[in-house]
A and B are shown apart, each in its own frame.
Chain A
Amino acid sequence: MSEIRRDPIGGRWVIVSTDSPKGPTDFQLVKDPETDPEKCPFCPGHEDQTPPEVLVSRNGGHINGPGWNLRVVPNKFPALKIEGDLGNEGIGMFDMMNGVGAHEVIIETPDHTKEMSQLSKQEIEATIFAYKNRCLDLRKDKRFEYILLFKNHGKSAGASLSHSHTQLIALPMIPKNVQEELSGAEHYYEYKERCIYCDIIRQEEQYKKCIVVANDKFVAFCPYVSRFSFETWIVPRQHFAAFDYIEPEAIPDLADILKNVLTRIHKALKSPSYNFIIHTSPIEDRVREEYHWHIEIMPKLTRTAGFEWGTGFYINPTPPEIAAKFLRQAKVNGK
């Protein structure tokens, strides 16, 4: 008998196939073809193929030239544009506004061949610092209400370039999924006067079966209501709503666990495509006492079809208990 599990935050139901669970080797992965660094706009020497950098870490060289370790540039083909007013208007019964926003790319390494899990801990730390700096800077723009940091790795996760990068989009409104998560957390907080994410960490650590890895400041687990096979969350033990206010002392631990989890996913699932998303509170004056920032990592192993579109129901063929077990067993650093 499969189980239908309810996500306590958004109220979403997931069908978890506990009868014939799928293991790491049961998915058909399409290998992305190797790409040519000569044609890659993110490679050193091709700085003129991107808009000018907004943030850079370099050992030498000139602005918008080679010699950098990490580079942040506006997206050349932005989904939203930075210039302009919102211009909200109604068209008959419909509403629209101008596509104003920021769309930036964080190029994590000059090395075309490395994926994020293969970067050094220091490089990942530098990447997280860049995330933080860009968010803090964009917070100042009063037109924006939300900043989303996310990664598309591999073609089936929607990446158009293979060179390791993260994207940042600043939006003029709070997106629907974020709003739902916030209201879910708010309801729980009103009812119990506790943070739902803190409760989830406690329950997962007690249950143990879904834990992937943990360190002093963070816990990584496959949540009880995973929507996707091998979905993994990284949650900070310290309760705080906004990712970009992360203390610098916590960044090494975050880099450590992010590298660890991505390496396990890379090894256990033979380099799958994946997305990760940093879930954080909106930009606003008040501190959201009831929210708790975290990272959700979703390997792209299955296809979504009519049922998921029609219902918002997900079918997860790998129970999180089994996914976590495989990820725990994956070898990291030859251990």
Chain B
Amino acid sequence: MPQLRKDPIIGRWVIIATERAKRPGDFLITKEKEDIKGKCPFCHGNEKETPPEIYALRKDGAASNKPGWDIRVVPSIAPILKIEGNLDRRGVGMYDAINGIGAHEVIIETPDHIANTAELPVGQIEKVLNTYVFRIKDLYNDKRFKYVLVFKNYGWAAGGSKINHARSQIIATPVNPKRVKEELVGARKYFEFKERCIFCDIIKQELKDKVRVVAEVDGFVVISPFAARFPFELWILPKKHNCDFYKLEQDEISKLAATLKLALCKLSKGLNDPPYNFVIHTAPFRHTEKHGYWKTIDRDYHWHIEIIPRLTQMAGFEWGTGFYINPTPPEEAAKALKEISCETELALAEK
């Protein structure tokens, strides 16, 4: 009998197919061998191929927009939102519109032509995470923005491009996105009811149940959630309650870097380098104290990372209902990924 499971945070139902469960080998991943022909605009030495950098982590004395950097942040060549201008909120008949104002930045995670973040050393991933924090803090100063999303599209099926050079994206939006609001509202409701953070409760229950835990690293836990929408969906949850990702301390960032490396490495080894997305879920900017709006957010929300390998196709049913059909129970996914050893990679990476 398939199971219907309810996501306790936003109330979304997921159909978990328990009988014809798909295991790692059951997904056909079409390899996108194709890489950019000619110059990769993200490789060191090709700095002229991108818009001028917003920020770079470079060795002392190296000139900007020249080689000698470890991490580089540049504006997107095809920004979906633009940084200049006013919002100009307006009604169009019965509809509402605002100008497409926002920030859209690309974080180039390495000067070398390496595709998957899973292959970067932990120290390099730590630099990437530090850069996220730095950019979020900077964008926080722009009062036009309400939310900043940090995410990654790896591989063509995950919406990535054909340039196989590891990078992530940052988008700052002038409105709070719907999906974010749902999560915030769900977390707040739970808090109002129980006076506890729902994510803290999830961590406790998962550590007790154990069956969905993929890994436990110092201060972080990697799980495949109870109502996982996708096969091998993973969440990285910090054990320390904190609603803002950007408030992480340095020692937490280095542990998160090791955890992220471990999770990505397990996915890559277990599923033969699948396309994936990851998204950092964090609290919105709080420029205004709207009545009652953010009153308890420090206590009711909990930042985390969601990683979604792209193994199945979304179809009419999912679009129509917001219901997901997951052919791999998260218990099976966690078991399979738990068994995959990435010790060597981690040890090598630390050197």
Contacts and interface: CB of A to CB of B under 8 A. Distances in A.
Interface of A: 1-6, 8, 10-13, 15-17, 77, 79-81, 84, 91-99, 146, 148, 150-152, 155-159, 167, 169, 171-173, 175-178, 180, 196, 199-200, 203, 206-207, 224-225, 275-277, 279, 296, 298, 303-313, 315
B152 interface: yes
Contact of B80 (A2, A13, A150, A298): A2
A96 B320 contact: no
Given A313-B173, A313-B177, A305 B153 contact: yes
Q: Which 10 A-B pairs have the closest CB atoms?
A: A305-B159, A158-B315, A99-B2, A312-B179, A2-B100, A306-B151, A311-B177, A150-B316, A175-B321, A177-B322
Given A224-B95, A313-B173, A306 B226 contact: no
B306 to A, nearest CB: 8
Interface in B174-229: 174-175, 177-180, 182, 198, 201-202, 205, 208-209, 226-227
Interface string B219-243: 0000000110000000000000000
Instruction: Name, among B5, B158, B173, B323, the residue most crowded by chain A CB atoms within 10 Å (CB to CB).
Output: B323
Interface string B144-157: 00010101110011
Nearest to A148: B320
B39 to A, nearest CB: 22
Contacts of B208: 92
A185 to B, nearest CB: 13
A312 B177 contact: yes
A199 B278 CA distance: 39
Given A2-B100, A203-B94, A277-B316, A77 B20 contact: yes
B94 A4 contact: no
A1 B93 contact: no
Given A3-B98, A224-B92, A275-B320, 14 more contacts: A15-B100, A96-B4, A157-B313, A159-B315, A203-B94, A277-B320, A306-B149, A306-B159, A309-B277, A309-B279, A309-B306, A311-B177, A312-B180, A313-B179
Contacts of A206: 93
Contacts of B280: 310
A177 B94 CA distance: 22
Interface in B309-323: 313-317, 319-323
Interface string B128-157: 000000000000000000010101110011
A298 B320 CA distance: 11
Contacts of B97: 3-6
B99 A10 contact: no
Nearest to B159: A305
Contact of B321 (A10, A12, A177): A177
Given A92-B205, A306-B279, A1 B315 contact: no
Contacts of A91: 226
A310 B149 contact: yes
A175 B82 CA distance: 35
A7 to B, nearest CB: 8
B158 A311 contact: no
A315 B76 CA distance: 15
A161 to B, nearest CB: 12
A149 to B, nearest CB: 9
A58 to B, nearest CB: 27
Interface stretch (B10-18, B43-51, B254-262, B287-295): B10-18
Contact of A309 (B171, B175, B226, B308): B308
B271 interface: no
Contact of B209 (A77, A92, A158, A199): A92
Instruction: Name, among B94, B227, B279, the residue most crowded by chain A CB atoms within 10 Å (CB to CB).
Output: B94
Contact of B8 (A3, A93, A151): A93
B80 A6 contact: no
A169 B317 CA distance: 8
Nearest to B93: A203
